[in-house]
């Protein structure tokens, strides 16, 4: 579902006019649709109805407290990768008992916090880590629930920076030695083996790699259920979203009209292919979707400051930079760009680079992109920015973090204030 659409000549998120938001709250500005987030959670939940399951939202995709609170109220679990994320979940009203803790480099302080707060499970990524968790749990006089992350050596067919399931990636324990790893872990006194986990990568646009990985790993899950009494199998996250033509229509099923080949992976197709493989296991199935839940739910609004006509190109210089949204610079990520003022059907277009103010050539949102004609002062929406957008922002060039808004119907809630100069320098000390 997509909640960004033109209405009365201007782009809206649900019932809220984005130009009014930009004028009131300033730019750059992140705006999220509550209806889209809830719709995505509920659709995935419904698609998995046939198996006992827990959707553990990948907190890293968008960890604003309001977003976490929304999902906690829906009954979501959470996939976390740091002590900070665990504390966020609890602060937002989420349940530590529904958290899985992933990541290759958990520190002692994080392991202690997670054990104290009673998380559901650690997803351990190396034998050294399991031994360390066992040691810390022993010192605390508790048993640590652990799943091992298996690296199935499957090609996720996605960008190399977000592919994680091949042997050359740093993630998980090699498929070939996972049995020995479980055997050794089962002998540690302070570990309870609770599950098996995998995650092959992010932004997968076909169900085939998921099927390939589950077919490879499900027999192990069955084996470990018998041998060690594990209770869950986590198939990770990775469900891809549409970044191209994402404003085609506000219709919930707008993708059904798309041509073959550019159809996104729907959760219904994902579930239809995976559930038959998972159901016979009789295990609880965990999923860790991040991007799918929030990606299309968000847009970043930015204002055109200047137009510059170079000999080779026309640049639209906007007030958001790579520090606010780094996906184009880091992954060559494509984000559709739509003017907030609705262009007439026969409006002129121009081919431009949309660039930010940061002193780097990588600071762009689009290159050689044909967009409707705009002028300085106009605002643009950089679409599908709800996942890995704000959370990857930095203060580079001493630029404050943008504000964030959560739209619910006709109401816009400010869910993060824009930073000011005092926020920027808070914590810095000039030696006396
Ligand atoms: N589970 C694990 C173990 C993960 O590492 C990730 C993402 C997820 C779940 C959630 O994956 P998702 O459902 O969102 O695809 N910043 C990059 C994406 C990095 C993904 C990192 N891990 C981007 O903007 O494309």
Pick the last residue of a domain from 266, 293, 320.
293
> In sequence order, which residues have a C-beta less than 8 Å from that of residue 341 and are 6 or more positions away?
9, 10, 11, 19, 374, 378, 379
User: Which pLDDT band holds residue 250 (cuts at 50, 70, 90)?
Assistant: very low
Name the pLDDT band for 161 (thresholds 50, 70, 90): confident
- Token pair for 276: 């038959």
Residues 336-365 have a mean pLDDT of 97
Task: Please check whether residue 20 lies inside any domain of the structure.
Answer: yes
Same domain, residue pair 260 and 184: yes
Domain assignment present for residue 431? The answer is: no
pLDDT of 248: 56
| 327 and 273 housed in the same domain | no
Centre of ligand 1 to C-alpha 312, Å, is 37
Tell whether the model's pLDDT for residue 311 goes beyond 90: yes
**For range 115-123, the mean pLDDT:** 98
For range 233-256, the mean pLDDT:
75
pLDDT at residue 252 tops 50: no
- 3-class secondary structure per residue, the chain: CCCEEEECCEEEECCEEHHHHHHHHCCCEEEEEHHHHHHHHHHHHHHCCCCCEEEEEEHHHCCCHHHHHHHHHCCCEEEECCHHHHHHHHHCCCCHHHEEECCCCCCHHHHHHHHHHCCCEEEECCHHHHHHHHHHHHHHCCCEEEEEEEECCCCCCCCHHHECCCCCCCCCEEHHHHHHHHHHHHCCCCEEEEEEECCCECCECCCHHHHHHHHHHHHHHHHHHHHHCCCEEECCCCECCCCCCCCCCCCCCHHHHCCCCCCCCCHHHHHHHHHHHHHHHCCEEEECCCHHHHCCCEEEEEEEEEEEECCCCEEEEECCCCCCCCHHHHHCCCCCEEECECCCCCCCEEEEEEECCCCCCCCEEEEEEEEECCCCCCEEEEECCCCCCHHHCCCHHHCCCCEEEEEECCEEEEEECCCCHHHHHCCCCCCC
Report the residue among 37, 40, 44, 58 best suited for mutation to probe ligand 1: largest number of ligand atoms under 8 A from its CB. Answer: 58
Q: Band of the pLDDT at 253, cuts 50, 70, 90?
A: very low
Atom 8 of ligand 1, residue of closest alpha carbon = 237
Please name the residue whose Cα sits nearest to atom 6 of ligand 1: 237
Question: Would residue 430 count as lying in a domain?
Answer: no
CATH number at residue 247: 3.20.20.10
Q: Given this model, what pLDDT does residue 262 score?
A: 52
For residue 202, the CA-to-ligand 1 centroid distance in Å is: 5
Residue 374 in contact with residue 339, Cβ under 8 Å? yes
In this predicted structure, what is the pLDDT of residue 246? 73
Phi, psi (degrees; rounded to nearest 5) at 51 = -120, 150
Mean pLDDT of 250-262: 47
Instruction: Ligand 1 pocket test: pick from 54, 121, 202, 294 the residue with the most ligand atoms within 8 Å of its Cβ.
Output: 202
Residue 50 lies in a domain: yes
Residue 253 Cα to ligand 1 midpoint, Å, equals: 25
Q: Which of 293, 309, 325 is the last residue of a domain?
A: 293
How high is the mean pLDDT of the chain?
Answer: 94
Pocket of ligand 1 (CB under 6 A): 58, 61, 79, 102, 162, 199, 202-203, 236-239, 288-292, 327, 331, 388
User: Which of 273, 293, 313 is the last residue in one of the domains?
Assistant: 293
**How many domains does the chain fold into?**
2
Do 137 and 73 share a domain, yes or no? yes
Q: Is residue 40's pLDDT more than 90? A: yes
76 in any annotated domain: yes
As a residue count, the chain comes to 432
Question: 185 C-alpha vs ligand 1 centroid, how far in Å?
Answer: 27
Q: Does residue 108 fall inside a structural domain?
A: yes
Is position 218 within any domain?
A: yes
Same domain, 137 and 246: yes
Residue 432 lies in a domain: no
Query: Which CATH number belongs to the domain containing residue 305 in this structure?
Result: 2.40.37.10
- The model carries a pTM of 0.96
Q: Which of 13, 56, 121, 359 is catalytic?
A: 359
Q: How confident is the model at residue 219, as a pLDDT?
A: 98
Query: Which range (11-15, 156-160, 290-294, 316-320) has the least confidence?
Result: 156-160
Is 56 one of the catalytic residues? no
For residue 174, report the distance from its CA to the centre of ligand 1, in Å. 20
Residue whose CB lies within 8 A of the most ligand 1 atoms, among 54, 57, 60, for a mutation test: 60
For residues 251 and 328, membership in a common domain is answered with no
Name the residue with the closest Cα to ligand 1, atom 24: 388
**What number does the ligand 1 atom closest to the CA of 290 have?**
14
Same domain, 55 and 120: yes
Does residue 140 carry a pLDDT above 50? yes
- Shared domain for 150 and 208, answered yes or no, is yes
Which atom of ligand 1 is closest in space to residue 388's alpha carbon? 24
Q: What is the pLDDT of residues 320-336, one digit of tens each?
A: 999 999 999 999 999 99
- % of the chain beyond a pLDDT of 70: 96
Rounded CA-CA distance 101/119 in Å is 8
Residue-range definition of the domain harbouring residue 253: 34-293
Q: Relative to the CA of 238, which ligand 1 atom is closest?
A: 15
The alpha carbon of 76 and the centre of ligand 1 are apart by a number of angstroms equal to 17
């Amino acid at each position: 579902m997509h909640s960004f659409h033109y209405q009365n000549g201007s782009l809206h998120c649900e019932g809220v006019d984005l130009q009014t938001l930009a004028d009131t709250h300033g730019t750059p500005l992140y705006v999220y649709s509550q209806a889209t987030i809830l719709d995505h959670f509920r659709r995935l939940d419904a698609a998995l109805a046939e198996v006992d399951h827990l959707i553990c939202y990948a907190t890293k995709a968008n960890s604003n407290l309001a977003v976490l609170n929304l999902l906690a109220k829906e009954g979501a679990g959470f996939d976390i990768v740091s002590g900070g994320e665990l504390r966020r979940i609890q602060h937002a009203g989420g349940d530590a008992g529904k958290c899985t803790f992933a990541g290759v480099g958990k520190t002692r302080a994080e392991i202690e916090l997670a054990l104290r707060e009673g998380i559901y499970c650690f997803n351990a990524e190396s034998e050294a880590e399991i031994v360390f968790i066992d040691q810390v749990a022993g010192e605390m006089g508790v048993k640590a629930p652990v799943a091992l992350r298996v690296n199935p050596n499957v090609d996720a067919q996605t960008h190399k920076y977000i592919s994680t399931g091949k042997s050359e990636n740093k993630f998980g324990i090699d498929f070939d030695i996972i049995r020995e790893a479980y055997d050794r872990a089962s002998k540690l006194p302070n570990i309870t083996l609770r599950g098996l986990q995998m995650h092959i990568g992010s932004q997968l646009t076909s169900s085939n790699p998921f099927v390939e990985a589950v077919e490879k790993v499900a027999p192990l899950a069955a084996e470990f259920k018998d041998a060690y009494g594990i209770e869950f199998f986590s198939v990770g996250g990775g469900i891809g979203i549409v970044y191209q033509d994402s404003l085609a229509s506000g219709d919930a099923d707008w993708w059904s009209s798309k041509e073959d080949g550019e159809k996104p992976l729907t959760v219904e197709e994902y579930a239809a292919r995976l559930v038959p493989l998972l159901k016979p296991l009789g295990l609880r199935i965990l999923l860790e979707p991040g991007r799918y839940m929030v990606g299309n739910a968000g847009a970043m609004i930015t204002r055109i400051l200047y137009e510059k006509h170079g000999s080779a190109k026309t640049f639209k210089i906007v007030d958001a930079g790579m520090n606010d949204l780094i996906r184009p610079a880091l992954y060559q990520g494509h984000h559709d760009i739509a003017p907030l003022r609705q262009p007439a059907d026969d409006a002129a277009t121009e081919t431009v680079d949309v660039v930010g103010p940061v002193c780097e050539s990588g600071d762009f949102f689009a290159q050689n992109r044909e967009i409707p004609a705009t002028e300085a002062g106009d605002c643009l929406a950089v679409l599908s920015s709800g996942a890995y957008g704000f959370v990857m922002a930095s203060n580079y060039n001493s630029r404050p973090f943008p504000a964030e808004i959560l739209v619910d119907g006709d109401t816009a809630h400010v869910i993060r204030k824009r930073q000011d100069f005092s926020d920027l320098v808070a914590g810095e000390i000039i030696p006396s």
